[in-house]
Amino acid sequence: MSVYLHEEDLPVGVLAEGPVAVDTETMGLITPRDRLCLLQISDGRGDEHLVHFGRDSDYKAPNLRAVLADPARLKLFHYARFDLAAISHYLNVVATPLFCTKIASRLTRTYTDRHGLKELVKEMLATDISKQQQSSDWGGPVLSEAQKDYAASDVRYLHRLHDEFVIRLEREGRTAMAQACFDFLPHRADLDLAGWPEIDIFGHS
């Protein structure tokens, strides 16, 4: 298991075929204001690749964008809504088809209100991960080893979680419901970017 750091783009041929786990790190939670600093990606074979974007990046990243836009590759996220918005805004890619472990958790783990990645990995995979670097400064020119380890851990377990959630969704008869949610997520991200992040447009009032 190795963590590889790349500048501005993903090298050709470093990922095997099949689903990829994806996550992002930004300067904050307001996507148009808080720039994309890092994108993590893994094919689930044991290595994680981190693509670092500098302050003046043009976000061209043709190799990375090709992977994210590939309709034959399933993209695995935890809280895809945020990552999709960042990827769309900065890389100009709609990263579909997709599977979101946070939505799958909410649809199947109805016995709890704890749906963070740390909780999922601990309960379902019997592994503890640290979230200590979650709020660190991702905008610097050099990432610390702790930051790289944290970023890699955010994609390290998504393939295994996906496999487990596929079973649970089928067991509970909610596979089609989950897929409908996944299909809508790019539109939800568009609403966030367009200025409706907290307003329920489907609500009565």
For the chain, the domains span 3-194
> CA-CA distances (angstroms) from residue 112 to 3, 79, 104, 123, 158?
33, 17, 13, 11, 20
pLDDT score recorded for residue 205:
78
pLDDT score recorded for residue 134:
64
pLDDT score recorded for residue 130:
76
> CA-CA distances (angstroms) from residue 177 to 109, 111, 173, 180?
15, 18, 8, 5
Q: Which two tokens stand for residue 173?
A: 């008869």
For residue 175, pLDDT over 90 is answered with: yes
CATH of segment(s) 3-194: 3.30.420.10
Note the pLDDT tens digit of each residue in 101-138. Answer: 999 999 999 999 999 999 999 999 999 987 665 678 99
Distance in angstroms (rounded) separating the CA atoms of residues 202 and 205? 9
Q: Which two tokens stand for residue 4?
A: 């590889």
Those residues whose C-beta lies under 8 Å from the C-beta of residue 59, and which sit 6 or more positions away, are 36, 53, 90, 91, 92
Identify the band that residue 1 occupies on the pLDDT scale cut at 50, 70 and 90: confident
Instruction: Give me the chain's average pLDDT, please.
Output: 96
The CB density around residue 50, as the number of other CB atoms within 10 Å, is: 23
Amino acid present at 159: H
pLDDT score recorded for residue 136:
87
